[in-house]
Amino acid sequence: MRRNALLGLTATILLGWTALAAQRAASAVYDSERQIRLEGVVTRVDWVNPRAFFFVDVRGGDVVANWAVEFGNPIELERNRWKRSTLRIGDIVIVDATPARDVTRQVLARSVVHKATGKRLFELPAARPRASLKLPPPRWPDGQIRLGPPAGQKGYWGAASVKGLVESKAASVRMNDEGLLMDLSEVDRVAPFQPWAKAVYLHRQRTRLKDDPIARCMPPGGPRQFMRPNGFQFIEQRELGRILVLMGGGNRNWRVIYTDGRPQGQAAEVVLSFFGNSVGRWDKDVLVVDSIGYNERFWFTNGGLPHTEALHLVERFSRPNLDILRYEVTVDDPRTYTRPWTGGWTVQWVPGEEIEEYFCEENAESTFIR
C-alpha cells in the first residue's frame, strides 16, 4: 500500500516530466519521499537535450551552495512556448523539488517560481486526448497501407498507449511511466517468466531500474523502440525492399526491416545486434515482421524484462486509421519464458511535425557530483 502510494506520488510528480526525462529512470535518481524548497540566484542555464538544467546559488547563513535543478526537456518546453531566455542568469527563483537520492546537490523541479514577478515558469499543460477524425489510413498508389505520412505531408508516431509490455491476457498491470510496477505482487501477470527471469526482473524493479542500459545510451532494441518518449517514424524505401525505422530518442538509431522477400537467417549465423535481423511481409493490411539475432546488452521493454540470444519476435503493425498504429508483438524466448506470449499497444500519430534532434549523450556532463 505504501509502495503504491509512493509510486502514485512519483507518477504525479513526474507527470509531464517522464515523457521528457527520457534516458534514465527518474525513480532511480530522485527520492520522491522527500521534498525540498530552494531559493536562490540563477548562475547558469543548460538548455540541452534530453534534460535541461539550471543552477542556483542557495545561501544558508554565510555559506553559498550551488544546486543543479533538472526541469524538463527543451523540445517539449519549446513546444509550449518556453524558451531558454525565460530564465536569466541573476534571476531569483523559488524551486519546490524532489531531491536526488544520493548526497549530490541535485533536484528535479516540481515548480519554479520567478520571485520578482510571482510567475510560474516551465509549466506544461495537462495532456489532452486529441480529437480523432477517424480519417482512413493513407495508401500507396497500389493500395498498400503507408506507415508514414500521407503523400506530401509530414508526421511521425508519438506517444504509446502503454509504458511497458505485458501479456495481453493480463487484465491490467499497473506501472508508472518508466515501467515500474505499482504492486510487485502483480509480477506473474506481466509475462510467463522462467524462475531466473522473474528473479532478475524483480531485482531490476526493486532497484528502481537503476541499471537500465538505456541510461548508458544503449539502443532500445525490440518492442521498446515503439514506446520511447520521443517517437519514431517509418521510412518506406519500396524500391529498395526495406523499411527503415528511425527513433527520435536515444542515439538517433535506425533499424532495417527487409521486405524484399529474403528468407530469415539462421539464428546461429546471424551477427547479434540490438535491433536483430528483421524480415517483413505484408499480410493484406498488416505488416508482419520476424526478427532474430538479438544480443543481450539491452532491455527490450521499459521496466526491465530480460531476454537471451534466443529471443525471437514476431511483430504485427496495422493502421486502422490515419491517427493510430496498432502494434502487437509475440515474444518467443524459451530460455527466458515458459511459453510464447503476446502483448501490444497503440501509438498516436503526430501530424505535421518532424522528430526533433535529441541525443542521449548530449548532457551526460549534467550528471553532477556537487
Residues that bind another protein (CB under 8 A): 194-196, 198-200, 203-204, 207, 210-211, 213, 216, 218, 296-299, 306-310, 334-336
Q: Which is nearer to another protein, 299 or 358 (CB)?
A: 299
Side chain identity, residue 254: W
What is d(CA 138, CA 129) in angstroms, rounded to the nearest whole number?
22
DSSP string, 150-166: STT--EEEEEES-SS--
Q: Which of 208, 296, 174 has the alpha carbon at shortest distance from 24?
A: 208
* Cα distance between residue 100 and residue 82, in whole Å: 25
C-alpha to C-alpha distances, 146 to 136, 227, 234, nearest whole angstrom: 11, 20, 9
Query: Distance between CA atoms of 253 and 215, rounded to whole angstroms?
Result: 15
- Is 98 within 8 Å of 31 (Cβ atoms)? yes
Residue (102 or 142) nearer to another protein, CB: 102
Within 8 A by CB and 6+ apart from 284, the residues are none
Closer Cβ to another protein, 215 or 244, answer by number: 215
- As measured in angstroms, the least distance from the Cβ of 273 to another protein is 13
Q: Minimum Å distance from CB 302 to another protein? A: 14
Do 258 and 242 meet the contact criterion of CB atoms below 8 Å apart? yes
Which residue's CB is nearer to another protein, number 168 or number 273? 273
Nearest approach, Cβ of residue 196 and another protein (Å): 5
At closest approach, how far in Å is the CB of 151 from another protein? Answer: 41
Whose grid coordinates read 502483480? 186
Rounded Cα–Cα distance for residues 176 and 158 (Å) = 18
Q: Is residue 252 packed enough to be buried (19+ CB in 10 Å), middle (13-18) or exposed (0-12)?
A: middle
Q: Which residues pair with 254 in a beta bridge?
A: 246
Nearer to another protein, 234 or 298 (CB): 298
In the complex, minimum distance from the CB of residue 240 to another protein, in angstroms, rounded to a whole number = 32
Whichever of 204 and 228 has its CB closer to another protein, that residue is: 204
Q: Could you tell me if 15 and 123 are in contact, meaning their C-beta atoms sit under 8 angstroms apart?
A: no
Q: Least distance in Å: CB of 216 to another protein?
A: 8
Give the CA distances from residue 2 to residues 6, 7, 44, 205, in Å, rounded to whole numbers and listed in that order. 6, 8, 38, 16
Shortest CB 331 distance to another protein, Å: 14
Q: Rank residues 139 and 210 by Cβ distance to another protein and give the closer one.
A: 210
Closest approach, Cβ 51 to another protein, in A, equals 23
105/307 with CB nearer another protein? 307
Question: Which residue, 242 or 312, has its beta carbon nearer to another protein?
Answer: 312
- With 0-12 / 13-18 / 19 or more C-beta atoms within 10 angstroms meaning exposed / middle / buried, residue 200 is middle
Q: How far is CA 171 from the centre of its chain?
A: 23
Residue 334 Cβ vs another protein, minimum distance, rounded to whole Å: 5
> How are beta strands 120-121 and 155-160 bridged, if at all?
unpaired
